[in-house]
Amino acid sequence: MTSKTVPDTLRIAIAQLNPTVGDIAGNLAKAREARSDAARQGADLVLFTELFISGYPPEDLVLKPAFVAACEEAANELVQDTADGGPAVIVGTPLKRKSGTHNSILFADGGKVLGERYKVDLPNYGEFDEKRVFQAGPEIAGPVNFRGVRIGVPICEDIWGELGVCETLAESGAEILLVPNGSPYYRAKMDVRHQVVIKQVIETGLPMIYANQLGGQDELVFDGASFAINADKSLAFQMSQFEETLAVTEWKRTADGWLCTEGPMSKIPEREEADYRACMLGLRDYVNKNGFKNVVLGLSGGIDSAICAALAVDALGEERLRAVMMPYRYTSKDSLKDAEDCARALGCRYDIVPIFEPVDGFSNALTQLFEGTKEGITEENLQSRARGTILMAISNKFGSMVVTTGNKSEMSVGYATLYGDMNGGFNPIKDLYKMQVYALSRWRNTHVPPGALGPSGEVIPQNIIDKAPSAELRPNQTDQDSLPPYPVLDDILECLVENEMGVEEIVKRGYERAIVERVEHLLYIAEYKRRQAAPGVKITKKNFGRDRRYPITNRFRDRADRG
């Protein structure tokens, strides 16, 4: 091929789409629609995200030969589509080969596969366990020759690890690096991604396009926010976060290599907005992808159920949420009013189902068995379990998914009732500490996030934000009767959970040793409850479940005298 036939301009489309794990036909249809859109915009090439055909992460579905075969069949249909003379494609799919089952891409143009590439560096930490189902690529393959341009295609972790995949591609003659990713959200993840890409750009001297998946998949939220960094380390383009979109970018060959001359420059949301939108997207996709028509939650007049109600209306629309107040003799007039005001502000259906009779019925049934004992937590939990049973009955009768509403502070120390307020199918605030719940509530009262279906204005009554939190299971109860103040508790928990700090380190921050040791003890003994909790959106770097896996049976305590 002569230099005259090598293009000086490339129009590369980045398909930041929302696939569904296991919906092979649906994902193929999405890919075809995106390619047609890219063709209308004059794109030469469409870059899809990691394992787009299967959806990511497919987990143990990859162990089913029929699943892998169906994915490759669908990917080959997309390959054949490129015979129409339109854009080429880079599409992710699992592939079964002699060397094993690989996390792969097919690079196709003109109806033919120009190259297969396999992920070399398989992540096996935090939320990732790809070594369980995939084999690493047996070697670092070189760039693919696309119409005279040598394109390197490292896959996600290949740019994060230390195996030198990008350097090898550069040494093999790559002119530009296109990276399909399945990178889930956690707070401040965007800065981390930018730094990872800049490091590779510096080491290789090549521009890099980072295409990231969009959408909720169980506990993970993929936030999109695809971008590119030029060879001079400048931001080439930035796509939107939490929004499904396709962007066509233009690249020109210069004396110093390829340079992006056209592409979007979207603003990335600040902390509270990003967290809120992640929770909203995670809830929306969990409900819709699992086929629920609507949801139900217990609206207590407290902050946690209020923000979950707001998230549900924003994610699904007011007509798809039923809020249920379930008062007992300890429910305050303020709570009754606050719950009604919240439901009215959100415009959702609001029902009141008193629990006097079921709770008294349980108490009467247990009178003889409990004779001679003092009332306490057992009787309090009967209230919570009566409410949980009512919500599950509504779920069974009407097909509504129960949204459970416990925050990370409560779940950390076991301040929740199994088969009671823990009942539910999904928890949008599971990975938010209590003070973060307050921060997001205040943010939502003054902002309407893009894509939200809920109203503007104050949707969480100010009294809910201002009043002392209480489970209202006994007279004049507040959470602080049995827990440290939430600012103190949250900081200690972040030290223990997010940072794995020792008790001595935390005490040096100014806390009483007895309080720190008690919080650590509560954290450990509540593990059995967390194992039975509903899934929920991952917001922090270390959520319960995928990222933090502690034994239920565990006698370790961090004490100075343990030896």
The residues assigned a catalytic role are 50, 119, 156
* Core vs surface per residue 142-170: b (16+ CB within 10 A) or e: bbbebbebebbbbbbbbbbeebebbebbb
Distances in Å between the alpha carbon of 209 and those of 28, 246, 262, 437, 521?
Answer: 22, 14, 13, 35, 46
Distances in Å between the alpha carbon of 456 and those of 82, 268, 305, 447, 460?
Answer: 45, 21, 19, 7, 11
Q: Is 302 annotated as a binding residue?
A: yes
Q: Is 263 annotated as a binding residue?
A: no
Cross-strand partners of 71: none
CB of 269 closer than 8 Å to CB of 28: no
Query: Which secondary structure element, helix H or strand E, spans residue 275, and what is its range?
Result: helix 271-289
Q: Is 529 annotated as a binding residue?
A: yes
Closest residue by Cα to residue 144 from 93, 104, 86, 183:
104
What's the length of the chain? 563
Task: Look up residue 547 and give its amino acid.
Answer: D
Cross-strand partners of 14: 47, 247
Closest residue by Cα to residue 205 from 175, 163, 165, 161:
175
Q: Is 303 annotated as a binding residue?
A: yes
Closest residue by Cα to residue 489 from 528, 470, 516:
516
Q: What is the DSSP letter of 253?
A: E
Q: Is 363 annotated as a binding residue?
A: no
Distances in Å between the alpha carbon of 142 and those of 154, 161, 169, 226?
Answer: 10, 18, 5, 24
Q: Is 305 annotated as a binding residue?
A: yes
Query: Which secondary structure element, helix H or strand E, spans residue 391, and what is its range?
Result: helix 377-398
CB of 450 closer than 8 Å to CB of 456: no
Q: Is 298 annotated as a binding residue?
A: yes
DSSP H helices, 53-154, are 65-81
Q: Is 299 annotated as a binding residue?
A: yes
Q: Which two tokens stand for residue 289?
A: 């992808």
Q: Is 399 annotated as a binding residue?
A: no
Burial of 562 (0-12, 13-18, 19+ CB in 10 A): exposed
Q: Is 395 annotated as a binding residue?
A: no
Q: Is 478 annotated as a binding residue?
A: no
Is residue 561 classed as helix, strand or coil in its secondary structure? Answer: coil
Q: Is 125 annotated as a binding residue?
A: yes
Give the start-end residues of each E strand in 199-313: 208-212, 214-217, 220-223, 227-229, 235-238, 245-254, 257-262, 295-298
89: left (phi over 0), alpha (psi -120 to 50) or beta: beta
Q: Residue 224's CB: how many other CB atoms inside 10 A?
A: 28
CB of 410 closer than 8 Å to CB of 530: no
CB of 319 closer than 8 Å to CB of 426: no
Q: Is 376 annotated as a binding residue?
A: no
Residue-by-residue DSSP string for 214-234: EEEETTEEEEB--EEE-TTS-
Task: List the binding residues for deamido-NAD(+).
Answer: 381, 410, 529
Task: List the binding residues for L-glutamine.
Answer: 125, 183, 189
Task: List the binding residues for ATP.
Answer: 298-305, 405
Task: List the binding residues.
Answer: 125, 183, 189, 298-305, 381, 405, 410, 529
